Structure 1
Amino acid sequence: MAHRLEQPVVRHTRRLPSPTGPSGDGSVAARRFDAALMSVGFKLSAPLLERLSGLSGGTVVDTAVRTLDTVREMVGDHVRHNVYFVDFPANVPDTFDFWMRCVTEALADETARASTLARLRTGVVDLLTLPSYGSYRHTYAEMLAAHDELIAAAGDRMTVLHLGGAPDDEVTALYLALAGSSTPLGEEGLADLGTLAGVCVAGPRPEAIPVRENRAVVNRARLGAGADLLLDTVTDVLRLACALSDGDATLQEPTRFRTLSRPVRRALLAGLDAVVEASPAKLADVHAHREAFKRLGERLHPHEYPRWPHAAEVFAVARGEKQARSFDSRVEELLGLGDVTGAVALLKSAPGKLLRALDRLLRAAGTEEERDAVVAAAEEVAPRVSGRVVLAVREHLHNRADEEGGPGERRVFVNRLGRAWVTPDGRAPLPAPARRRLVPAFDAEVGRRLPDPGHLLVDPAVLDVALPLNGRATAAGPGVLPRGSVSAVEGELLRFFTYWKQTSRSTDYDLSALVLDADYRTVTWLSYTALRDVEGTHSGDITDASDGASEFIDLRLGAVRGKYIVPQVNIYSGEGFEEVEESFFGFMLREAEQRGRPFEPRTVRMKSDLRGPGRVALPLVFVRGDDGRWHAKWLHLYLKGHPSANRVEDNRVSVAALLRGIVDREHLTVRHLTGLLADRATAVTSWDGEEVPDGPVTYIGLERPEGLHPDSRVLTPGNLRDLIPS
């Protein structure tokens, strides 16, 4: 196995494939490896330490170098995090005093004095024109020298790396898990699937690939290896063409198709021909992506291949030269005529579409008889719908207002890219009897599909983690939880950080924190325009990231006057989150007496990539409960913002409106599924962080504990999608 494949295995599973090499006494090198890992918040499990100790010192050192590079990148320690104010969080000046100091220094600079005086005469000074503003004024080494060493604390994060199996077995297992995932993967997961598929395509294949974009990534690898393609719809071919052009296989964004070689064109046309020949009705699927199919036809030249006439029909439908009435148009026609019963009868042949249209059908039903028909149809088709969709509709019903009241004042929309917006909810309430009947029916259906867990061992800390019904609702990175998850925040100091490195244009990101009261009114904020307040301090504004740049905000949780803390990253100018070479956000927790540098990897609780479509990133919100304790609720959202000059002062109203609609929304969590699993378990134990049972268990928690029986099934955030039944 190539060493490059160790990295995704470690990131996804927290297992190090069993190192191989000559035997020897590597105990000293292994202990040094363990100590180096602990400096960044990781450690070796006892079996892994024992395995390394039996190998030669050189093998251990080589393994350590590779693994340390991987884990440092995971927590954001692979780059140098400098700060504008060298003593941060100490000695951060008042904002106005700092700006006046920059003006004074500009006036003392012969090269800048004239232009500064000219601007002062107009009454306005652009901070970006002042020589001492926005750039580091000291080296990284000088910043390190200004800070004491971090004092270790019991609350520091310590993630255990476990001993994996044979390298090839670990790679194959991860490939099968990603390819066969029942929920969509995030950007990092899809990229890793592509890498693994390239080396695993000739080996075992997953029993099923239910997520279409996963299938596109696998098909790209199969095409490259000359293997048969896995196709059953015309859209599968379109997704594959997008993947071949490094475009969006989810079809949410347009793809600019590349020129394709003749062998590839033949493979795609042959695939289209076979799909349509087997089921001509699938031509109706073309309508949903007509423009994309037209552009693909320009690359495939189907007229040059008369032996595949059914493939040519696909592009004839896209151009409007051939009729193929879509399923959705037939449903719309019936609903337009007020024939709800007829629409329901038709939708039974497309169970997923029926459940997704359930809210609309219930509102359209004008009589008790029609409502009963809708509910009965939903109960009938539920066994033929994916578990992910059943759970998503169950969650929707839980948050939907009915005739007896409940939530529903605002509708929050979040697309698959994380772009979010909120509007008033003008829909009529659902009939209460229908909701009361459907919710337990869906729970029973999900419970029926869950496996027998045997002895169920649950870490209480994982219970409020939202079910990962969509991988794109979770950013890549350690400690990151799905959108809607809630996790405890313990510590005196909360420190946010962001890092970005521009690709080609000067780029200025601004880390900010907005503090809101219980009514979502602004209490204060910390940003480059408000460096210091009762709550804490800002590390200073960096306005160019040609060599990478970092900003920090340090908050004393006991001093926060509001109920909500909303960290955000605003793009002031330059490249977007998807254009920069790298960008990420995270937070640390520490006690006041720990001291340490501005960035300490051992104290990082979460680090997530910023790769969204908007100009304002909202990774999560911190909420103070009625008991005074803080917890984080995960958002992974992006606001459209302005093309430039986004500032916390300007978006606080839109942020408050979005939070008002989303903070109180209740997501289905691990607690819900463990409740259903408990009904099938032989025993249920709440793990106290100490001893684990002797025999095999099904363990569900945030981290895999040491000492589990080797035959145990382990579910942590890295593979929590496996908990979603197919």
Structure 2
Amino acid sequence: MTTITTTATTNTRRSLGAVLLSSRGAVYLPTITAEPTVDAIAGVALLETDLVERGYLLSAGLRQALTALDTEALATAGQSLLTDIDAALGSDRNHTPLFRGFPRTTPHDTFALYVDRVLALLLQAPEQPCVLCGTNGTVHAVSPCAHLVCRSCFDGADYSACPICNRSIDADDPFLRPALPRTVASTRRALPQRLRVLTFGGDLAARTADAGGELSTLLARAGALSPQDTEDLMVLLDEAGDRSDLAWLPDVIPGRETKARVLAWLLADKDAYTATLPAVTASITTATDVLRLLVVLSGGDAGLVEIPRFTAVPRPLRRALLMALNGLDPVLVTEDMKRHPAAWKHAAERLHPFEYAHRYPKAALAVAALREFLLTEDTLSQTLRTAARRSTATTLDAGTVSLPVWASQVETALADGQVERAVPLIAQRPGEFVRRLDHMLRLADPAAAEAVLTALGKAVRQASPAVLLSALGAIRTRSRKGDSRVFFPKGSDATAHIVTDERAPLTTSVTDRTVGILTGEVLRRAAELAPVDVAVVDAALDGVIAPFAERTASRSLVTLPRGSELPIPQGHTVRLFVHWMESATSGVTDLDLSAAMFNDGWEHIGTCDYTSYRYFDGAVHSGDRTSAPAPEGASEFVDLDLDELAARGVRYVVGTVFSYNNVPFEELADAFAGVMVRDEPGETGPVFDARQVEQRFDLTSKARASVPLVIDVNDRTMRWLDVVQAVTGSNHAVHRHAGAIALLGQALTGLFASGARIGLGELAVWQAAARSKTVIVRHTDGSASMYQRGADEDALTFAARIGSPARDAAVEGDPPAAQLAYLMRGDTLLAADAEVYALHPAGIDTGAVRLMSAPDVVTALAAK
């Protein structure tokens, strides 16, 4: 297998080719002029071999296009392709574990090894017999740590670092000897579940056109983009965006954070202000839009989690932003400003609203209300008084400007238990109404509950898809008492806040009516989309969760929504891995890959980490690397034998990555982790096998502890958690945080298994039922069932029947070509221009269909 080494870090943007390779599975080549030659055909065969070793295949069209390149162009294209794939898989790094013969040579007694290391550290002397074995002439210092190591007690052919401190040593140190060869892996290894067939996207002009299509897709997303999509957005803007011709810019960008980033990109070139300033002004619809824009221009995050020091605002932009604020209702502007008062007071210092009060009086009025500006007899005060008189909602109280605050009115009504008084107020903000639905229903008596549900029928028509689905999932579980509540607070890290659920359950009649209204709205929106004849839905998608809180999702090889559960093939070994590389900022950094074992009751019964290299034969650690200097970095692995773990009473395995010395992941030059699913014994094949990598994700947050997944040993499933854990101090280890890990694992698995989060599979069924005449469900056993919508059957009844035994027919052979498909793998017949979601696209030709991501499936339900 060819390994391409690059100097990329997790903080480096992907190239345009890598972006399109990930989203479309397409490869773009220079204009083809050469006839196929023997050398080109041989080169393509070698490239194909390298790709198979990484879990990728070439389509016939791409293979033919590659053979038509001259040898120089082929070498360049092949090198670029392998570099992008290796970076995505993590195989562009050196992955040498502490024990190079892992898992075979991992010691069985970690404590005994620790005692030997301590004795050697404290008592070993130069030019003296070894304190452990008594042998003369075998003790030598290793470089650069200078620890005295006995070459008889510690095998230099197996160790890759100092046996005493486990830190990296010089590659030419005499202690290190050539590693014993590993058993060659079988050439009949299975291809990974995430297997993808790469297609030919066309020439470089086609690449630019496709980049424009991907840009349009991201701009249409209603929610916050994931970090990876955010980075890709900037790449696509640089390629497909044009500041002089804004025909590509949509009239409305529904994602507020996305809008701020796009507007900031437009303003990056001051020479284009003539074209961009009018577009920026037209796009601003709230005061918070202005604040987000100023934050992004100052190098901050559009989510307003942390507010940076604002940079100077050029005078033309200052006037444009004040003009935009002046065109809004000052009551709403002030209300928005009071959500971030400190930030707005600093922003106002850059905008100078009072300097332009005569031109933009309503903008100045809003800032005056925020600052509780004391009116006097000067010119500014007279201007503000005039603007206040023209605003019917504005009052002058004790010489200051006062504007009514909607939020305080709502909170007062709810605090007094006056739900019927609160309903018309909250209904003014449809999204807020749906978010507060549970709270209002808890406070409401029967009459007030009727008022809430009546208002809900109108509010849902304007709520965002994410808010709608979140409320639907939460309400449908509220007729039963819960043990805990899980919140995912907005922030830069994916944290889960868990509290005891002290809410009284809602009545079944209320939850049923509420769920009916919310589900009916989902079906109504879906029915407004283009109708199709045949839709295919994979039942295996039931374990995949509709995406939420995407702004904190890890950059990953497979875009798997948080909370999703996937099966692990029987008889396979699961290998967890982590790789990191220190930076000048981080200094010496020790990451620790760990596996915590729990029984059915979530009691901690075992650990596999640097304190215990083996948990019987069920979990085996590769050794604790305690430093990761550039350019090699360091890697750790844990092998999990699920059959052996089950025999030992283990029900759940929680994978974790701790920063032992409390260095934030974001300070590292490179840090990522992942999971391989191996169909061969652990001692065969390379330690890091790119072909067997099923998931790889970056560690780039400010956190010091990551909890990416939990494995259900009995059910043979892996649930993707993708959360971080708050830790303090240093010397982190599983046994010190076992209670918190158990609480996190139990609460999150309970949340996602309860139905409180909408599954992508059921969302697919609703959309298929509303849009198609025939729905085919492919079951996990390989069979398929057909459901046909009756002439008088409404979408809700049809959706309830899909997946039930009340099928209309069994499907023999391959299903007919689908115009709409929601698939686990892209392995069914698709009509031209079909809309397709596939967790693993496999052989889907993205040039012939519209490939959707999970967020796109949700965004399709945006209110019209």
TM-score, normalised to structure 2, is 0.77
Alignment-derived partner of residue 259 in structure 2: 215
Larger radius of gyration: 2
Alignment-derived partner of residue 470 in structure 1: 549
Identify the match of residue 319 of structure 1 among 371, 377, 387.
371
User: What is the one-letter code of the residue matched to 1:500?
Assistant: W
State the 1:98 CA deviation: 1.4
Identify the match of residue 295 of structure 1 among 346, 364, 367.
346
Alignment-derived partner of residue 719 in structure 1: 853
Alignment-derived partner of residue 211 in structure 2: 171
Alignment-derived partner of residue 239 in structure 1: 292
Alignment-derived partner of residue 123 in structure 1: none
Alignment-derived partner of residue 428 in structure 2: 349
Identity %: 28
Alignment-derived partner of residue 461 in structure 2: 383
CA distance in 1, matches of 2:41, 2:16: 25
8 Å contact from structure 2 (residues 662, 729) kept in 1: no
Alignment-derived partner of residue 528 in structure 1: 610
State the 1:91 CA deviation: 1.4
Residues 31-430 of structure 1 aligned to structure 2 (within 5 Å) = 31-93=45-107, 94-107=109-122, 109-110=124-125, 132-136=164-168, 146-151=181-186, 152-157=188-193, 158-164=195-201, 166-202=206-242, 203-206=247-250, 208-224=252-268, 225-226=272-273, 227=276, 228-229=279-280, 230-251=283-304, 253-263=305-315, 266-283=316-333, 284-306=335-357, 307-321=359-373, 322-365=401-444, 367-400=445-478, 402=479, 406-416=480-490, 417-430=493-506
Residues 534-549 of structure 1 aligned to structure 2 (within 5 Å) = 534=616, 535-547=618-630, 548-549=633-634
Alignment deviations for residues 477-497 of structure 1 (CA, whole Å, 9 cap, x no partner): 112411111100114211100
8 Å contact from structure 2 (residues 591, 657) kept in 1: yes
Alignment-derived partner of residue 591 in structure 1: 679
CA distance in 2, matches of 1:99, 1:630: 34
Alignment deviations for residues 351-408 of structure 1 (CA, whole Å, 9 cap, x no partner): 001000111111121x2100111111112211111122111100111333x2xxx251
Residues 553-564 of structure 1 aligned to structure 2 (within 5 Å) = 553-560=638-645, 561=648, 562-564=650-652
Q: CA RMSD in A?
A: 2.8
State the 1:638 CA deviation: 1.0
State the 1:646 CA deviation: 1.6
User: What is the one-letter code of the residue matched to 1:174?
Assistant: E
1:641 aligns with 2:733: no
8 Å contact from structure 2 (residues 310, 346) kept in 1: no
Alignment-derived partner of residue 14 in structure 1: 25
Unmatched runs of 5 consecutive residues or more in structure 1: 118-127
User: What is the one-letter code of the residue matched to 1:566?
Assistant: V
Alignment-derived partner of residue 125 in structure 1: none
Residues 430-441 of structure 1 aligned to structure 2 (within 5 Å) = 430-441=506-517
Residue 23 to residue 489, structure 1, CA distance change in 2 (3 Å): same
Residue 4 to residue 662, structure 1, CA distance change in 2 (3 Å): closer
Residue 143 to residue 460, structure 1, CA distance change in 2 (3 Å): farther
Residue 211 to residue 531, structure 1, CA distance change in 2 (3 Å): same
User: What is the one-letter code of the residue matched to 1:363?
Assistant: R
8 Å contact from structure 2 (residues 96, 635) kept in 1: yes
Residue 693 to residue 257, structure 1, CA distance change in 2 (3 Å): farther
SS at match of 1:325: coil
Alignment-derived partner of residue 121 in structure 1: none
User: What is the one-letter code of the residue matched to 2:582?
Assistant: Q
8 Å contact from structure 1 (residues 83, 551) kept in 2: yes
Identify the match of residue 740 of structure 2 among 654, 667, 679.
654
CA distance in 2, matches of 1:129, 1:381: 70
Q: Which moved more, 1:286-295 or 1:410-419?
A: 410-419
User: What is the one-letter code of the residue matched to 1:411?
Assistant: R
1:606 aligns with 2:695: yes
Residue 248 to residue 422, structure 1, CA distance change in 2 (3 Å): same
State the 1:328 CA deviation: 1.1
Residue 337 to residue 150, structure 1, CA distance change in 2 (3 Å): same
CA distance in 1, matches of 2:455, 2:774: 36
CA distance in 2, matches of 1:706, 1:38: 22
State the 1:346 CA deviation: 1.4
Alignment deviations for residues 428-456 of structure 1 (CA, whole Å, 9 cap, x no partner): 22232211101122111111112334321
CA distance in 1, matches of 2:669, 2:405: 42
Alignment-derived partner of residue 120 in structure 1: none
State the 1:100 CA deviation: 2.3
CA distance in 2, matches of 1:379, 1:260: 46
1:674 aligns with 2:764: yes
Q: Which moved more, 1:715-724 or 1:651-660?
A: 715-724
Residue 600 to residue 502, structure 1, CA distance change in 2 (3 Å): same
Identify the match of residue 566 of structure 1 among 640, 643, 654.
654
Q: Which moved more, 1:311-320 or 1:612-621?
A: 311-320
Q: Which moved more, 1:305-314 or 1:181-190?
A: 305-314
User: What is the one-letter code of the residue matched to 2:737?
Assistant: N
State the 1:171 CA deviation: 0.5
CA distance in 2, matches of 1:168, 1:144: 47
Unmatched runs of 5 consecutive residues or more in structure 2: 1-12, 133-144, 148-161, 374-400, 784-811, 840-851
Alignment deviations for residues 521-544 of structure 1 (CA, whole Å, 9 cap, x no partner): 011010000011222211111112
Q: Which moved more, 1:711-720 or 1:307-316?
A: 307-316
8 Å contact from structure 2 (residues 168, 627) kept in 1: no
Alignment deviations for residues 610-641 of structure 1 (CA, whole Å, 9 cap, x no partner): 233432211011113xxx43101111111111
User: What is the one-letter code of the residue matched to 1:204?
Assistant: W
8 Å contact from structure 1 (residues 514, 525) kept in 2: yes
8 Å contact from structure 1 (residues 175, 200) kept in 2: yes
Alignment deviations for residues 489-518 of structure 1 (CA, whole Å, 9 cap, x no partner): 114211100112222221111111001000
SS at match of 1:11: helix
CA distance in 2, matches of 1:692, 1:112: 75
CA distance in 1, matches of 2:813, 2:310: 56
SS at match of 1:455: strand
CA distance in 2, matches of 1:3, 1:443: 39
Residue 164 to residue 324, structure 1, CA distance change in 2 (3 Å): farther
Alignment-derived partner of residue 503 in structure 1: 583
CA distance in 1, matches of 2:310, 2:423: 42
8 Å contact from structure 2 (residues 322, 351) kept in 1: no
Alignment deviations for residues 689-721 of structure 1 (CA, whole Å, 9 cap, x no partner): 998667452222244348744422221347121
Residue 156 to residue 338, structure 1, CA distance change in 2 (3 Å): closer
> Between Structure 1 and Structure 2, how many residues are aligned?
702
CA distance in 1, matches of 2:28, 2:538: 26
SS at match of 1:712: strand
8 Å contact from structure 2 (residues 653, 710) kept in 1: yes
Residue 720 to residue 164, structure 1, CA distance change in 2 (3 Å): farther
Residue 46 to residue 373, structure 1, CA distance change in 2 (3 Å): same
